Amino acid sequence: MAKYLFHGNFVGDGVKGLVKEGGSGRVAAVKRLIESLEGRLECY
């Protein structure tokens, strides 16, 4: 099975939101997206 790497970064308001809300909501959203495409999230 092929593996893909996606690279992203947080700036400005994204960093503020991450500090305020934590990262678990973002991880859950990315996991749902990948699983909807029949993929599997190995690491975030």
**DSSP states of 1-44:** -----------THHHHHHHHH-SHHHHHHHHHHHHHTT------
Has residue 6 been placed in a domain?
no
pLDDT tens across 1-44, in order? 789 898 888 788 877 877 877 777 888 888 999 999 999 999 88
Has residue 26 been placed in a domain?
yes
Has residue 5 been placed in a domain?
no
* Entry pTM: 0.66
CB proximity list for 31: less than 8 A, separation 6 or greater: 41, 44
Has residue 33 been placed in a domain?
yes
- The whole-number pLDDT of residue 38 equals 92
Q: Report the domain count for the chain.
A: 1
Structural domain that includes position 31: 13-37
Cβ–Cβ < 8 Å for 41, 30 = yes
Has residue 22 been placed in a domain?
yes
- The whole-number pLDDT of residue 33 equals 92
- The whole-number pLDDT of residue 34 equals 92
